[in-house]
A and B are shown apart, each in its own frame.
Chain A
């Protein structure tokens, strides 16, 4: 089967997932609206609706913030209650933006947005510089290991595009970022309201030689990190067609979480421990010799080992560790506080196991990313360390080494609600995380 020919008007572009964070009134809605507007992602009828809404509120100039207005309750109360997803594209890239409200339930939302993001845009108001909220946003992004950070210093028009103001905020931010272990930070002076340095270079900040926000979003490398990590293939289900055409077909369906898998690779299935060799990688377009992080494929093995749902395939030399106890950080997302002794479910990869939180080991100080004394309870939006005993083993990685296989959910066994985002801690058997 030949690879399909690209169509004349089809561009090959990559997907970048990003998230935004800023405290109230820093101009986050305006910035998101500006990005949508300047990439022509807003269509005529939506613009007309915003224009009507702007006039209804007595405004004259198009209020870009209204473009991202959400549910009626939010509009009526002038607040944002939930993460919203926005889509825009340039000729070379397509963007999925998790737009996170900056207040109420704020950690819950930012953690959600940051969990899938490869880049986070943190906004500050040029007149105020770094505030308490900025540090928290930065800490959450660092905690969830978002690989790329952008500081957008907004409302530069209100400080006359003053370079020293920008540089002061930029270096203050860099210090905090470094202390949190974030390396890739780019700062951009913008005016979301007027569009300076968002999609178009500003004539009012000639001293700034860096990229516009959009140029940077288009240039930042994507997906590379996941491909470099050890290979992990969580098995979702076993395909056994048993049709006349495929009487003996037995394929392991799943999505490569990280790394690269090739035909001929020796693999181990964990936690069960069975070993085999990859004889084929199937896609609906036919077999391939190699598949990389993010791809959904079906894997064929030489032997019928026990590798159903819940198992993870890995290369034996770089296998995840199999544990019955987790040391983890939990970001608590439920109203009811967490106390030691809680019986829960842990969902990791394609496996869900019963578990008991045996101990709370500390609360995370979002300023320092250090743990304080063990708390008696973990409240909504707090992050803390916990020890969790598992009823059955899990094959895990430290979140610090693999974002894709180091995260898990804590679920209420009774009502099924998601209680916490969990991040697997460092391997106690190793000195380095």
Chain B
């Protein structure tokens, strides 16, 4: 896999710490997110990788007592995503998220995808139709649902629901997609389809993915970060991390050893 040496950055965490009340979950994370690349976050449960991921679209703002330190710079405009002046709703327009368990709205397939567009004020039926189709095609599910757009989304299979959720995230044309263990509830075929999709999607969008499946991180990502106890232990090109990590803690984790 060829990766250009100094690819442009889509985002960058700078000395990012995060506190759930008095508990510090992230400890001074510095990490680049390369533009139109897939970056995987790996590490044992409780290492802070999901906390880190969720900081990007300000999900922690939903609960009182949570506190950020440091910043996440978002490019090209160099916005600090964590700045109190930045509206979380605006952030979420530019940064989509896909969760571990598919969570379609209890609406039709069409409405699931059109939802974000309607929230943005899109009313034109023709535009909505076009954008829904474009997003469904982008999520590689169009052929399976084009004749049943008015069916209820929860009636789809798990793998289809997850791809629908990806289409929903794509509909608003986000610049960054966050995936939080997107395939842990799916069978190997559906997992393969999502991984294939991630590979396609990175042509147009930057992706940050949390996964417990090490082989998945190795397969889909260009860069990998290993996190442990709220710290980022090692960040590097995926090819190097999985063949010759520099830190013994990374080595122990990816080889399945007890530290």
Asked if A and B bind, the verdict is no
User: Which B residues are closer than 8 A to A by beta carbons?
Assistant: none
